[in-house]
Amino acid sequence: MRCSDGEMRDLVTSQPGAGWDYAQTRHPYHMIERPLGPHYCLYNRRHMAVRFDAQSVEDGYWMLRQKAAVLHTGELPLQFKGPDAERLLDRLFTKDITKVRPGRCGYGLACYEDGGLIVDGVLLRLEPDLFWYAQADGDFYSWARAHGAGMDVEISDPDIFASQVQGPEALNILAAAAGGLPDGFTYFGIARVDLGGQEVVITRTGYTNELGWEFYTEPQHDAEALWAHIKAAGAYCGLDMFGLDSMNIRRIEAGILNAGSDFDLHTTPFEAGLGRFVDFDKGDFIGKAALVAAERGCRSWGIKCVEGEPLIGAVLEVDGDAAGVVTAGAVSPYLGHGIGIALMDSAAHGPGTSVRVGCRDGVMREGALVEMPFYDKECLIPRGKLVDVPVRA
């Protein structure tokens, strides 16, 4: 898996000049972020703010946990439209897409023929024959077009951008912005709402396991006016943008995997701990035969390290032997210790296994493999069934 060495990383900043940025796409809120001093990563060739000079990582984290925060993401919504849209998507994904009703979202996990993971994302069924797939970073567009050849389906990139409003105040902000909550807007629901005179698609989804929703900015929208309206609705609690570094802490706590770093094309859904999203009772899908024959053991676990911050790319040792790699690491301000995600070399090691883990300070430190999520094991917070607003130490 390719990533930074944990000490240095390559981010994108805006500089005077022109040229050699043709493979990069700015999101519609770029100029609004600019005064905050953004530093971007490339995600689906789109800019996504990793951090801001005007905001510390910890401040962004606590804004998310205690109030609400917004991330303009690099997710890439692809559109599938036509009589064969459902049939194609059901072949591309490991879950039964026919069960996703119009007005609802589903989780879409795609594999290669050998069972290796391509990408994951949120599938929106807007109408019986109209879907958006907000995919994580990965090569999926060409794959989908190739497998859709001969089918009555149009696959396109409609130039839509997804933004997340996450945190305990998120639904109160939505109610203020939309004049009330949409009827039946439950977890993984879809609605079209009026936000300051603009009709906007929203979903009860997110990447944090906090209460939240996402809004989709389309080409016809006035992005500046849309953001001004949403920010004004959240002014009472200080709603603002934050960076991926802040969100990353929470997604590790939540055990939410990142495509391309926590798993890749050599990892099966079972090895990534995503086996529950493989439905062998449905019809044939790409990778089914390989997954039927695959081992069911999980290799992806959380890391608890009391005395250090697990270093991305560092080795984990069990009984003195290399046994895995750190795919994500941070210090949790809420838990008060280092946390991370490990991809072990085999499924022989699981929760409760004592490990030595390479940390940011260059020292191998004692740690343990644990179940994910680190807390809110039943994911009650994003469903609105548990209110947990922690106090900042």
Binding-site annotation: residue ranges for substrate: 214
DSSP output for 322-382: EEEEEEEEEEETTTTEEEEEEEESSTT--TT-EEEEEBTTS-EEEEEEE-SSSS-TT--TT
HSE, CB side, 13 Å, CA atoms: give it for residue 137: 18
Q: How far is CA 289 from CA 44, 90, 272, 282, 325, in A?
A: 29, 15, 18, 13, 28
Provide the sign of the torsion angle of the four alpha carbons 249, 313, 325, 113, taken in this order: positive
DSSP output for 27-74: -TTHHHHGGG-EEEEEETTEEEEEEETTB-HHHHHHHHHHS-EEEE--
Closest CA to 353 of 365, 372, 368, 341: 368
Q: Which helix (H) or strand (E) holds 220?
A: none
Q: Which residues define the annotated binding site? A: 214
Q: Give the integer Cα–Cα distance in Å for 251 and 108.
A: 18
Q: Give the integer Cα–Cα distance in Å for 379 and 388.
A: 12
Tell me 299's DSSP state.
-
DSSP output for 153-197: -EEE----EEEEEESTTHHHHHHHHHTSPPTT--TTBEEEEEETT
Q: Give the integer Cα–Cα distance in Å for 245 and 57.
A: 6
Residue with tokens 């999980």: 298
End-to-end CA distance of the chain: 35
Crossing angle between the packed helical segments 223-233 and 170-178, to the nearest 10 degrees: 120
Which residues are CB-neighbours of 322 under 8 A, at least 6 positions away?
Answer: 315, 316, 345
Residue with tokens 């090691």: 349
Strand partners, 41: 48
